[in-house]
């Protein structure tokens, strides 16, 4: 199993933070749809990968020592050709090394730009008394500003998942507020249940953040993911 191998490799290396590439491999195996992601170690490789993947693309720094990629100038969006990708690669590497000179940098990830959707977040943290607790809310910066989230203890039932989604104040946005497309609520319930099952099977995971997930009327896609292991 991919997840066991990734987790045991990280443990052997004495690290608790997985890279986004590792986190997405694990989540994909758990049945959660994520954006395609490939590692590039040079500007030339990034440009070639992007061309093969199809434009526009996103580049993000890949480092176990950099959890908040935007804080170090480690993300470039909406790149439309090979020249833009090559330039963005160099800018990301330069900025990351400036902000975090001691960080171990693997390279950059190349990912397709996802079409806009309703941003939601699913997270997990461990409570000393109750164990793993799942969190659901509107994603992106909204979760930080509005703190509009709901919580349930793992394992979740289908009813728990449904109630978590309906409880948030932003639920009307998911229903298709003012003529915007609604999110597929049943699919979001299914993702919550899959995450619940996943964290139950992986007690080595201390924290999990999937933010944002773009929710569409016909699907949902995880754009970014962070997994922290128990030390």
Q: Domain residues of the chain, as ranges?
A: 36-113, 118-229
Report d(CA 148, CA 200) in Å as an integer. Answer: 25
Report d(CA 119, CA 221) in Å as an integer. Answer: 10
CA atoms within 13 A on the CB side of 59: 32
Instruction: Write the pLDDT tens digit of every residue in 55-91.
Output: 999 999 999 899 889 999 999 999 999 999 999 999 9
Residue 206: the pLDDT is 97
Residue 158: CB atoms within 10 A of its CB come to 12
- What pTM does this model have? 0.92
Structure tokens at 94: 């330069």
Report d(CA 97, CA 186) in Å as an integer. Answer: 43
Class of domain 118-229: alpha beta
Instruction: Write the pLDDT tens digit of every residue in 28-46.
Output: 999 999 999 999 999 999 9
Which CATH number is 36-113 given?
Answer: 3.30.1490.20
pLDDT band at 1 (very low <50, low <70, confident <90, very high): low
For the ranges 7-21, 36-50, 85-99, the lowest mean pLDDT is seen at 7-21
Residue 146: the pLDDT is 75
| Helix and strand counts by DSSP (H, E) for the chain | 8, 10
15-21 mean pLDDT: 94
């Amino acid at each position: 199993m991919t997840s066991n191998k990734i987790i045991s490799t990280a443990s052997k290396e004495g690290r608790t933070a997985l890279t986004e590439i590792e986190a997405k491999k694990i989540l994909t195996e758990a049945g959660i749809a994520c954006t395609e992601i490939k590692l590039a170690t040079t500007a030339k490789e990034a440009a070639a990968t992007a061309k093969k993947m199809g434009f526009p693309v996103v580049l993000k720094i890949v480092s176990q020592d950099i959890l908040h990629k935007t804080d170090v100038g480690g993300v470039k969006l909406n790149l439309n050709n090979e020249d833009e990708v090559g330039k963005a690669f160099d800018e990301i590497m330069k900025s990351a090394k400036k902000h975090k000179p001691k960080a171990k940098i693997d390279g950059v990830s190349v990912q397709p730009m996802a079409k806009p959707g309703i941003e939601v977040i699913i997270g997990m943290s461990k409570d000393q008394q109750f164990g793993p607790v799942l969190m659901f809310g509107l994603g992106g910066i909204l979760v930080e500003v509005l703190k509009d989230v709901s919580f349930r203890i793992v394992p979740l039932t289908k009813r728990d998942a449904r109630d978590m989604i309906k409880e948030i104040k932003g639920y009307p946005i998911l229903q298709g507020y003012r003529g915007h497309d609604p999110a597929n609520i049943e699919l979001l319930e299914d993702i919550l249940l899959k995450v619940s099952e996943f964290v139950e099977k992986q007690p080595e995971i201390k924290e999990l953040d999937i933010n944002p997930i773009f929710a569409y009327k016909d699907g949902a896609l995880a754009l970014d993911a962070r997994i922290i292991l128990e030390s």
